[in-house]
């Protein structure tokens, strides 16, 4: 086992050797034509705080084994977390029984031969060794400041350390370990009239600055008190990187060639086919996934054991790639191109302050909330601003404004770019868990479509 | 909030690639009863000495210094069959078993969990819970105090299901889905069908240092389907989903939905949306079907009446509530018209949040959240009930948890989760047709669609699945690109007509999200159809 992290037990995730041994135990039990074993798990530490004190804290760990059994073109999967001999045998037997009963899948592609993989860059010892007492210290760096300021500090710190492995009966074996950390805080005025948020996420805990996040949220909470109402409508907006991440990450899941070719995606082309090669957004926009980027690392293989590599989805505004699964790639005469669980967007050099200073009248948005798809045909989503929304007049922040609901598409937004700042890693997941790596710039965008006001603070 | 995006995303490849792993979103017909096949007994069913392990964990927590502790050993199983058109995409069985221990030390919580079910491992988890509580003590100034509860020794409970889905052969499940898909694909312009059977089975065991010892089993079933029609020139596509609601029932519920018989109707609705008229922006009387209204209830009544939210405990994620502070709201806020009564319960047979005992060993009770139009109560746990002592004193009631504690697995810390929150039917024996007949100009909405609401539950926007244009008391055509925007108290006070008992139905979500780390919760909302006067409708159609 590896470096210590918990109070009482060593770090609890499977090392490469342990994963390989466990996969071999499962494969030795298998009698199917082909078998795949996926191992996933590790430890998660979590500490929540509310009203300036820790409300709950816990550690949990789990490891799951998924067995995929294949007979001809019939397959099934069984997942278990019971890793003794009886538990594994039950999983293999059930998977094989279900597979034999399943109808043939004409799209079955079989298991992959052994592949070569780059070493994953997702691990950080600083994250893996953060224990509950250290988490409490980090939380206290925020709650002491909020308490001293007469405000209510609320928030969440989560770290995880785990591994992921894929093995199959043809000899393929892929292994990666990774860590993640996220710290987010919402600071509110006791009368409920002001609310400010700050948050950060990284694979490496040492890159997070708890006291700095607390100070930023405190400043926003104070400035956001007693907001004024403005008319909904189209506004120039300065979006902080988190707000950009909230919207742009929604595009990631639509980058699917099959849905596009089938005519049921934004990336479908009228008359048939898809938009690869077509310009869809501003030429300054490039969106890339690179599993080896240290700022936005991701697994170097997918759950079939297919290697992932740097992939340019959008280059200078033009769609360069869409993800192809193995079946669709074969059918369309393409190479398979897996999704990569990270996203990096190009940017510029402006600071947030410069974006604000260049704006005559606009709205500064800290983050967005409850974003849900309204129309998949244009990736239209709705949601609201939250925890720090301000009016910009003549290059300066003049007032806190009430929160606003928008109905907007990241595609339209990226066609209306006025200026871009320097990209940074953000905590863009709605839940405050580490999630996938998202690196995006702050943006100044014109004609952002706000459709109604909210009384929510 | 509720989140089915991950699950319903077709290219679940995307989700599967994530580090944290993929988590995953009529008239009864005569269907022959399925035959049952014997299943191999999983060794853990008989081998795990659940009670001994739970006692061992409680002893270890007490020895380490816990003033109170509870332990949950749970086995959580899922079974999915995922199909598209005439293919099986996936057949999946998942099985997770483990032990979680919660310890209260000097007024501070700690939690430890392990999948290793040995005496040593559960004792270590208990000691870890105590150690975490002690480590977290530095950042607290008010101690946790729990409201008293009855002790339930050696009790058992089982949810209301007739056929355990784990006894139904896979061939029967697959056959039903593929036949439904085939029926849908016969409709012109309908090109794609995604359909799933999704079953949940939970064996939950609970013990506390107060002496409760509880064993429970529950089953839930759902058939998500999405039917897609594509215009011949690829200029448009439309989906019809939200056709079968999740339920706290077994395979008999799936059979009763008659997905094969209903598939053509649902497919025709998808195809008709290609030709539907774009809605004109404006104010309309909305008639909301239970298959739609459940989600509006969930978001605008279910969530704001969670007491932890109202007091700021969920501010960093789910948000707070417009129903705050409690002393200005309870018994005072007019939520809606006098005929509006909203009940919280965990007792309705077939509802998703129904359970015998909650995750603190409390037997839940039915309670009125809205009583004769006035806001009357919040959802509570043992820790929270005392926070409303002043209110319960006024009613001459002893503060007592409503039984809303839930953890979504053995590895999750239990906390306040939504019970079934339902709009009670009206006294007049009317239904959907009568309300339509009484409406001069409006839109009748069937099925839930896009949904979004702010962090205090004021401003919401809801789409739907099928939008019927109503003129002169009759359905005159289909509309598209419809969404309504609302402010919660204004919206409910605009309700002027509801159906009676015969029109009451349950809608539900398997994926209500709350908490950090985020946990899911399955919850149902019962309601009759209801009419809302002069609600703001927007047109969501945009061209790329």
Q: Are strands B441-446 and B282-288 parallel, antiparallel or unpaired?
A: parallel
- State which residue of chain B sits closest to A412, comparing Cα positions: B544
CB contact under 8 Å between A8 and B127, yes or no, is yes
Q: How far apart are CA B136 and CA B53, in angstroms?
A: 26
Check whether residue A171 and residue A38 sit in a common domain: yes
pLDDT at B43 over 50: no
CB contact under 8 Å between B94 and A79, yes or no, is yes
Check whether residue A41 and residue A122 sit in a common domain: yes
Q: How far apart are CA B110 and CA A205, in angstroms?
A: 22
pLDDT at B371: 98
* Nearest chain A Cα distance for residue B139, angstroms: 5
Rounded to the nearest 10 degrees, the angle between the axes of helix A85-101 and helix A16-29 is 50
Interface A-B: count of C-beta contacts within 8 A: 359
**Contact partners, residue A79, CB within 8 Å, separation at least 6:** A64, A65, A66, A67, A91, B92, B93, B94, B95, B96
Quick: pLDDT tens for A329-376: 999 999 999 999 999 999 999 999 999 999 999 999 999 999 999 999
Write the DSSP assignment of B339-380 as a string of letters: T--EEEES-STT-TT--SS-TTS-----EEEEETTEE---B-
Which among B109, B104, B112, B122 has a CA at the least distance from the CA of B68? B104
Check whether residue A177 and residue A305 sit in a common domain: no
Whether the Cβ atoms of residue A312 and residue A245 lie closer than 8 Å to each other: no
Phi first, then psi: give them for residue B491, nearest 5 degrees.
Answer: -60, -50
Is any Cβ of chain A less than 8 angstroms from the Cβ of B396?
A: no
Confidence of residue B317 (pLDDT cuts 50, 70, 90): very high
Quick: pLDDT tens for B99-157: 999 999 999 999 999 999 999 999 999 999 999 999 988 877 789 999 999 999 999 99
Specify burial of residue A190 (Cβ count, 10 A radius: 0-12, 13-18, 19+): exposed
CB contact under 8 Å between A59 and B319, yes or no, is no
Phi first, then psi: give them for residue A220, nearest 5 degrees.
Answer: -65, -40
End of a domain among A200, A220, A240?
A220
On whether residue A263 sits in a domain, the answer given is no
Whether the Cβ atoms of residue B248 and residue B509 lie closer than 8 Å to each other: no
Q: How far apart are CA B504 and CA B432, in angstroms?
A: 10
CATH 3.30.2290.10 domain residues, chain B: 45-275
In total, how many domains does chain A have? 2
- Name the region of A144 (left: φ>0; alpha: ψ -120 to 50; beta: rest): alpha
Query: Between the CA of residue B6 and those of A428, B9, B10, what are the distances in Å?
Result: 16, 6, 9
Which among A118, A176, A116, A126 has a CA at the least distance from the CA of A292? A118
Q: Are strands A53-71 and B108-114 parallel, antiparallel or unpaired?
A: parallel
* Nearest chain A Cα distance for residue B516, angstroms: 7
Range of the domain at A80: 16-220
Q: Which of B5, B111, B131 sits opposite A7 (nearest CB)?
A: B131
Phi first, then psi: give them for residue B475, nearest 5 degrees.
Answer: -75, 120
Check whether residue A286 and residue A414 sit in a common domain: yes
**Contact partners, residue B513, CB within 8 Å, separation at least 6:** A431, B1, B2, B3, B318, B519, B520, B521
Quote the strand ranges of B237-291, DSSP E: 237-240, 277-278, 282-288
Q: How far apart are CA A450 and CA B80, in angstroms?
A: 40
Most B CBs within 10 Å, among A82, A130, A159, A410, to test the B interface: A82
Confidence of residue B37 (pLDDT cuts 50, 70, 90): very low
Whether the Cβ atoms of residue A325 and residue B12 lie closer than 8 Å to each other: no
On whether residue A269 sits in a domain, the answer given is no
End of a domain among A175, A198, A220?
A220
Specify burial of residue A229 (Cβ count, 10 A radius: 0-12, 13-18, 19+): exposed
Check whether residue A81 and residue A115 sit in a common domain: yes
Dihedral of the alpha carbons of B359, B201, B112, B106, in degrees to the nearest 10: 0
pLDDT at B543: 79
Which among B208, B206, B207 has a CA at the least distance from the CA of B67? B208
Confidence of residue B35 (pLDDT cuts 50, 70, 90): very low
Query: Which residue has 């052994």 as its token pair?
Result: A114
Check whether residue A208 and residue A281 sit in a common domain: no
Whether the Cβ atoms of residue B352 and residue B524 lie closer than 8 Å to each other: yes
Q: How far apart are CA B493 and CA B490, in angstroms?
A: 5
Confidence of residue B61 (pLDDT cuts 50, 70, 90): very high
pLDDT at A248 over 90: yes
Instruction: Name the token pair of A132.
Output: 């509950």
Which among B56, B101, B82 has a CA at the least distance from the CA of B194? B82
pLDDT at A11: 53
Question: Mean pLDDT over residues B52-70, rounded?
Answer: 98
Which among A162, A172, A274, A205 has a CA at the least distance from the CA of A47? A205
CB contact under 8 Å between B412 and A60, yes or no, is yes
CB-side exposure of A436: number of CA atoms within 13 Å?
28
Instruction: Name the token pair of B57.
Output: 């964990």
pLDDT at B58: 98
- State which residue of chain A sits closest to B452, comparing Cα positions: A370
CB contact under 8 Å between B315 and A60, yes or no, is no
Query: Between the CA of residue A163 and those of A15, A295, A351, B21, what are the distances in Å?
Result: 7, 19, 37, 11
Maximum pairwise Cα distance, chain A = 72
* Nearest chain B Cα distance for residue A235, angstroms: 18
B188 C-beta neighbours (distance < 10 Å), count? 10
Q: Which residues pair with A405 in a beta bridge?
A: A384, A452
Tell me B424's DSSP state: P
Mean pLDDT of chain B: 91
On whether residue A181 sits in a domain, the answer given is yes
Whether the Cβ atoms of residue A395 and residue A269 lie closer than 8 Å to each other: no
Check whether residue A299 and residue A392 sit in a common domain: yes
Q: Are strands B155-158 and B213-222 parallel, antiparallel or unpaired?
A: parallel
CATH code for the structural domain at B45-275: 3.30.2290.10
Where residue A141 sits, what CATH number does that domain have? 3.30.2290.10
On whether residue A205 sits in a domain, the answer given is yes
Maximum pairwise Cα distance, chain B = 73
Q: Are strands A152-168 and A417-420 parallel, antiparallel or unpaired?
A: unpaired
Task: Quickly count helices (H) and strands (E) in chain B.
Answer: 15, 26
Is any Cβ of chain A less than 8 angstroms from the Cβ of B35?
A: no
Q: Is the preceding omega at residue A360 within 30 degrees of 0, hence cis?
A: no
Q: How far apart are CA A34 and CA A73, in angstroms?
A: 10
On whether residue A140 sits in a domain, the answer given is yes
- Chain B positions touching A296 (Cβ under 8 A) are none
Q: Are strands B282-288 and B530-539 parallel, antiparallel or unpaired?
A: antiparallel
Instruction: Name the token pair of B303.
Output: 């969530």
pLDDT at A5: 39
* Nearest chain A Cα distance for residue B47, angstroms: 10
Check whether residue A101 and residue A212 sit in a common domain: yes
Q: Which residues pair with B337 in a beta bridge?
A: none
Most B CBs within 10 Å, among A29, A49, A54, to test the B interface: A54
On whether residue A21 sits in a domain, the answer given is yes
Q: Which of A152, A156, A451 sits opposite B312 (nearest CB)?
A: A152
pLDDT at B496 over 70: yes
pLDDT at B180: 98
Using a pLDDT cut of 70, give the percent of chain B over it.
91
Query: Between the CA of residue B445 and those of A386, B222, B438, B441, B532, what are the distances in Å?
Result: 29, 22, 16, 13, 12
Query: Which residue has 């059994």 as its token pair?
Result: A69
pLDDT at A2: 34
Check whether residue A96 and residue A209 sit in a common domain: yes
pLDDT at B468: 98
Using a pLDDT cut of 90, give the percent of chain A over it.
92
CB contact under 8 Å between B17 and A340, yes or no, is yes
Using the CB atoms, write b or e for A129-142: b if 16+ within 10 Å: bbbbebbbebbbbb
On whether residue A75 sits in a domain, the answer given is yes
Quick: pLDDT tens for B245-271: 999 999 999 999 999 999 999 999 999
Confidence of residue B228 (pLDDT cuts 50, 70, 90): very high
Using the CB atoms, write b or e for B25-35: b if 16+ within 10 Å: beeeeebeebe
When mean pLDDT is compared across A98-107, B335-344, B502-511, the lowest value belongs to A98-107
Q: How far apart are CA B518 and CA B515, in angstroms?
A: 5
* Nearest chain B Cα distance for residue A232, angstroms: 13
Check whether residue A307 and residue A396 sit in a common domain: yes
Dihedral of the alpha carbons of B274, B279, B284, B287, in degrees to the nearest 10: 10
**Contact partners, residue A425, CB within 8 Å, separation at least 6:** A200, A201, A202, A207, A295, A296, A437, A438, A439
Check whether residue A88 and residue A44 sit in a common domain: yes
Is any Cβ of chain A less than 8 angstroms from the Cβ of B540?
A: yes
CB contact under 8 Å between A79 and B93, yes or no, is yes
Most A CBs within 10 Å, among B17, B47, B190, B410, to test the A interface: B17
Write the DSSP assignment of B157-199 as a string of letters: EE-S-SS-GGGS-HHHHHHHHHHHHHHHHTSTTEEEEEEEEEE
Confidence of residue B330 (pLDDT cuts 50, 70, 90): very high
Quick: pLDDT tens for A257-280: 999 999 999 999 989 999 999 999
Which among B355, B376, B358, B354 has a CA at the least distance from the CA of B367? B376
């Amino acid at each position: 086992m590896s470096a210590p992290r918990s109070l009482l037990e060593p770090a609890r995730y499977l090392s490469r050797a342990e994963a390989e041994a466990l996969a071999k135990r499962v494969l030795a039990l298998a009698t199917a034509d082909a078998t795949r074993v996926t191992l996933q798990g590790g430890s998660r530490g979590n500490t929540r705080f509310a009203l300036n004190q820790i409300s709950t804290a816990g550690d949990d760990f789990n490891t799951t084994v998924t067995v995929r059994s294949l007979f001809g073109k019939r397959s099934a999967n069984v997942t278990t977390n019971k890793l003794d001999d009886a538990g594994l045998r039950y999983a293999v037997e059930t998977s094989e029984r279900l597979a034999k009963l399943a109808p043939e899948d004409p799209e079955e592609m079989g298991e992959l031969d052994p592949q070569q993989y780059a070493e994953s860059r997702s691990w950080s010892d600083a994250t893996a060794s953060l224990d509950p007492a250290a988490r409490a210290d980090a939380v206290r760096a925020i709650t002491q400041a909020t308490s001293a300021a007469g405000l209510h500090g609320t928030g969440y710190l989560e770290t995880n350390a785990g591994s992921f492995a894929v093995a199959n009966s043809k000899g393929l074996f892929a292994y990666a370990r990774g860590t993640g950390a996220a710290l987010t805080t919402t600071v509110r005025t006791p009368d409920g009239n002001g609310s400010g948020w700050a948050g950060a996420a990284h694979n490496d805990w040492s890159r997070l600055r708890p006291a700095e996040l607390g100070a930023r949220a405190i400043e926003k909470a104070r400035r956001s008190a007693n907001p004024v109402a403005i008319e909904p409508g189209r506004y120039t907006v300065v979006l902080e990187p988190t707000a950009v991440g909230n919207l742009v990450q929604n595009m990631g899941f639509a980058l699917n060639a099959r849905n596009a070719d089938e005519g049921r995606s934004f990336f479908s082309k009228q008359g048939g086919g898809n938009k690869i090669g077509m310009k869809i957004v501003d030429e300054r926009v490039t969106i890339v996934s690179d599993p080896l980027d240290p700022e936005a690392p991701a697994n170097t293989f997918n759950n079939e054991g297919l290697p992932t590599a740097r992939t340019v989805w959008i280059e200078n505004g033009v769609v360069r790639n869409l993800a192809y699964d193995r079946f669709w790639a074969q059918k369309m005469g393409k190479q398979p191109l897996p999704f990569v669980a990270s996203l990096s967007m190009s940017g510029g050099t402006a600071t947030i302050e410069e974006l604000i200073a260049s704006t005559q009248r606009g709205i500064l948005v800290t983050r967005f909330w409850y974003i849900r798809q309204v129309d998949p045909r244009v990736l239209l989503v709705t949601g609201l601003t939250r925890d720090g929304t301000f009016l910009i007049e003549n290059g300066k922040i003049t007032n806190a404004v009430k929160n606003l609901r928008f109905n907007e598409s990241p595609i339209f937004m990226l066609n209306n770019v006025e200026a871009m700042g320097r990209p940074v890693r953000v905590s863009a997941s709605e839940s405050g868990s580490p999630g996938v790596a998202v690196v995006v710039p702050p943006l100044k965008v014109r004609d952002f479509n706000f459709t109604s006001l909210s009384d929510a603070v | 909030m509720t989140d089915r995006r991950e699950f319903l995303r077709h290219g679940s490849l995307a989700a599967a690639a994530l580090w944290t792993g993929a988590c995953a979103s009529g008239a009864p017909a005569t269907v022959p009863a399925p035959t049952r096949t014997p299943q191999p007994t999983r060794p853990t069913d008989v081998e795990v000495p659940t009670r001994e392990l739970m006692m061992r964990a409680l002893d270890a927590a007490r020895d380490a210094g816990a003033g109170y502790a509870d332990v949950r050993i749970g086995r959580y199983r899922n079974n999915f069959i995922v199909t598209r058109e005439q293919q099986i995409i996936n057949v999946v069985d998942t099985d997770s078993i483990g032990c979680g221990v919660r310890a209260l030390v000097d007024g501070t919580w700690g939690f430890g969990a392990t999948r290793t079910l040995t005496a040593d491992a559960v004792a270590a988890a208990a000691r870890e819970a105590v150690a975490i509580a002690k480590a977290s003590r530095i950042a607290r100034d008010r101690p946790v105090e729990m409201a008293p509860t009855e002790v339930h020794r050696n009790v058992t409970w089982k949810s209301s299901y007739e056929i355990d889905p784990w006894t139904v052969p896979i061939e029967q499940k697959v056959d039903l889905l593929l036949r439904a898909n085939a029926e849908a694909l016969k409709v012109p312009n309908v090109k794609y069908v995604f359909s799933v059977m999704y079953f949940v089975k939970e064996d939950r065991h609970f013990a506390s240092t107060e002496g409760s010892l509880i064993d429970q089993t529950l089953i839930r079933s759902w058939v998500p389907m999405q039917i897609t029609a594509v215009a011949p020139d690829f200029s448009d596509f439309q989906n019809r989903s939200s056709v079968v609601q999740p339920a706290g029932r077994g395979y008999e519920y799936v059979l009763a939905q008659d997905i094969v018989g209903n598939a053509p109707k649902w497919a025709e609705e998808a195809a008709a949306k290609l030709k539907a008229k774009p809605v004109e922006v404006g104010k309309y009387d909305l008639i909301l079907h239970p298959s739609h209204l459940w989600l509006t209830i969930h978001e605008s009544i279910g969530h704001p009446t969670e007491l932890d939210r109202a007091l700021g405990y969920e501010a960093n994620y789910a948000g707070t509530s417009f129903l705050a502070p409690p002393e200005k709201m309870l018994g005072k806020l007019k939520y809606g018209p006098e005929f509006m009564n909203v009940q919280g319960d965990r007792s309705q047979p077939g509802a998703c949040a129904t359970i015998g005992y909650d995750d603190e060993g409390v037997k839940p009770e039915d309670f009125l959240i809205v009583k004769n139009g006035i806001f009357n109560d919040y959802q509570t746990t043992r820790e929270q009930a005392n926070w409303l002592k002043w209110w319960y004193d006024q009613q001459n009631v002893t503060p007592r948890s409503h039984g809303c504690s839930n953890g979504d697995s053995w590895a999750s810390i239990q906390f306040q989760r939504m019970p079934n929150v339902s709009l009670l039917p009206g006294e007049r024996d009317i239904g959907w047709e009568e309300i339509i007949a009484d409406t001069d100009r409006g839109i009748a909405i069937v099925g839930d669609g896009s949904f979004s609401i702010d962090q205090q539950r004021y401003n919401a926007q809801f789409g739907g699945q099928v939008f019927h244009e109503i003129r002169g008391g009759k359905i005159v055509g289909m509309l598209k690109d419809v969404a309504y925007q609302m402010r919660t108290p204004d919206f409910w006070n605009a309700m002027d007509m509801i159906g009676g008992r015969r029109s009451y139905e349950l809608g539900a979500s398997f994926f209500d999200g709350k908490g950090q780390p985020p946990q899911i919760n399955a919850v149902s909302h019962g309601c009759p159809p209801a009419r809302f006067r002069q609600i703001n409708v927007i047109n969501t159609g945009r061209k790329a």
